[in-house]
Structure 1
Amino acid sequence: MKKYLLSLFICLSGAAPAFSQTYQELAERAIACAEQDSLQQAEDYIRQALKLEPANPHNALLFSNLGIIQRRQREYELALESYTFALNIAPRSVPILLNRAALNLEMGRNDQARIDYSLVLDLDKENQEALLMRAYIYVCQHDFKFARADYERLLKLVPQHYNARLGLATLEQKDGNLQKALEILNGMFAENAEDAALYVARAGIEHDMQHLELAMVDLEKALALNPSQTEAYLMRGQIYLTWKKKTLAKQDFEKAISLGVPQAELRELLRQCK
């Protein structure tokens, strides 16, 4: 985040007429403070620069950097306002649109994030971040047809794109195309043989196919690689329940709770362990 703040400033300021010295100095001091995590001081310098030259067209950059700083301080509403001010000045800025989209997503404003990512793609049809994140939003909104289109578009640009392949496998699984989903995941293991998340994903497909023994092998491998795989404990616990191994199931559900799963979400499963 700190590096991005600096590089964005250099990129935009370098293409423009020279700032007045004081305005330039304030902007540079803001970046230096942000890099040192003196975020409130950085914000103060930016506000001084904005007050000094309120009509400067490069205030788009300052508002964008202000939004980055406010987001780091978890002042999300203020950050959203700052990004919007920046886009009022520079509506075709892809980096600022991506920043606002990411913030909207973080705030749970999925529709607004999707709109921003779509604006990015209107400007840059091959923007990988926008394609990936819009596909993710479509999946969350159960618009699987549009999610598939974005994943496939991304894979045409980057055929080995990890998240796009994983996302497409998930869609195949949701559509009931279990063998196709399995083929996609199996193809990914050649480059990611030690990826715990892939083993969990494959176990989920094997579970849907009622190949519980195979699913258990993959879950054991996932947990050997990464003992913090919450989804692996949940799935293994459900398999243990199916096999009437209630004590082992309870242990896995309790482990998932210790890793952050709300106990209320597992109340029924824990009841079945009695």
Structure 2
Amino acid sequence: MKKLILSFFVCGVMTLPAFSQTYQELSDRAVAATEQDSLTQAEEYILQALKLEPANPHNALLFSNLGTIQRRQRRYDQALESYTFALNIAPRALPILLNRAALYLELGKDDLARIDYSLVLDIDKDNAEALLMRAYIYMRQRNYNFARADYERLLKIDPQSYNGRLGLATLEQKEGKYEAALSVLNRMIAEKGGDAAQLTTAQYAELYVARAGIENDMKHVDLAMMDLEEAIRLDASLTDAYLMRGQIYLSQKKKDLAKRDFEKAVSLGIPHADVRDLLQQCK
């Protein structure tokens, strides 16, 4: 009898690694399938693993990965549900909170996104992504003082943050502090070719468009046009440059030139519906 019990015990112990290994194999296969963009297969592997070990604490990661797969497939409601399941298991998991916040923001649910970013900052007060995105949300909601506090904290942590400095310049512009906004952008543009910042050509082009927007607000149209020309020279695919230049042309009654720029923006991916009214004004 003792021998039978021992045999059963050993058999039971021996089966545990097999289940664990199978769970791990399924998890690994899901990752590999995701990397190969085989999202349906990846989801199937994850669901099999979850069914195999529903109480495994690592299921937080599986649910998070499942949410990301569903998000990539534009199954947003299911993605939110999966991220929430993941957070029920691991409520302080920063990457999962950031993923759900980003999805809320993508869906236009700014308040819910802000709550998640705030939860991240309750855990890690210096989290750069959460500071940046919460500042962006505050700015969209016109809570400029809160936005400024987040941008300033971000820049205290990382003074060379491209998105942080650009966001602060945008905030200054929205508050009508044009000289302060220009000061930020002028410093960033002046760093071109130096060691202070390692920006891409596309990022410099974006800075010129941002500065053109401020110059246009200040009625310095000639300066704005010069910056837009430079932006397009640096990055001919920058739709915002064509849209802004087209609107300036339209205000100058140069309808043919305006139409050309709006059509160029459409050819680069701007939905035709977004510029339909502007094109109508070019007739």
Structure 1 length normalisation: TM-score? Answer: 0.86
CA distance in 2, matches of 1:160, 1:126: 15
The correspondence for 1:240, drawn from 244, 249, 273, is 249
Match of 1:53? 53
Match of 1:131? 131
One-letter amino acid of the counterpart of residue 51, structure 2: K
How far did 1:105 drift? 1.6
How far did 1:267 drift? 4.7
CA distance in 2, matches of 1:35, 1:254: 36
How far did 1:196 drift? 0.9
CA distance in 2, matches of 1:242, 1:21: 67
Match of 2:149? 149
Q: 1:47 to 1:266 in 2, by over 3 A?
A: closer
How far did 1:213 drift? 1.1
SS in 1 for 2:190: coil
Fraction of identical pairs, as percent: 73
Match of 2:263? 254
Question: Larger Rg: 1 or 2?
Answer: 2
Match of 1:84? 84
CA distance in 2, matches of 1:271, 1:38: 43
What is the CA deviation profile of residues 140-178 of structure 1, one whole-angstrom value per residue up to 9, with x for unaligned ones?
222222211111110000001101111111111111111
What is the CA deviation profile of residues 17-55 of structure 1, one whole-angstrom value per residue up to 9, with x for unaligned ones?
x98222222222222222222222222222222112212
Match of 1:223? 232
Query: For this pair of structures, how many residues does the alignment match?
Result: 257
Unaligned residue ranges in structure 2 (runs of 5+): 1-17, 194-200
Q: Is residue 2:243 matched to residue 1:209?
A: no
Q: 1:50 to 1:270 in 2, by over 3 A?
A: closer
Match of 1:93? 93
SS in 1 for 2:160: coil
Match of 2:170? 170
One-letter amino acid of the counterpart of residue 35, structure 1: E
CA distance in 1, matches of 2:88, 2:278: 51
Match of 1:14? none
SS in 2 for 1:189: helix
TM-align CA RMSD = 2.1
Q: Is residue 2:144 matched to residue 1:140?
A: no
Q: 1:51 to 1:145 in 2, by over 3 A?
A: same
CA distance in 2, matches of 1:70, 1:253: 34
CA distance in 2, matches of 1:233, 1:127: 35
Match of 2:198? none
What is the CA deviation profile of residues 161-219 of structure 1, one whole-angstrom value per residue up to 9, with x for unaligned ones?
10111111111111111111111000001334741111111111111111111111111
Unaligned residue ranges in structure 1 (runs of 5+): 1-17
CA distance in 1, matches of 2:37, 2:272: 36
What is the CA deviation profile of residues 220-265 of structure 1, one whole-angstrom value per residue up to 9, with x for unaligned ones?
1111111222222222223323433333223223323333444454
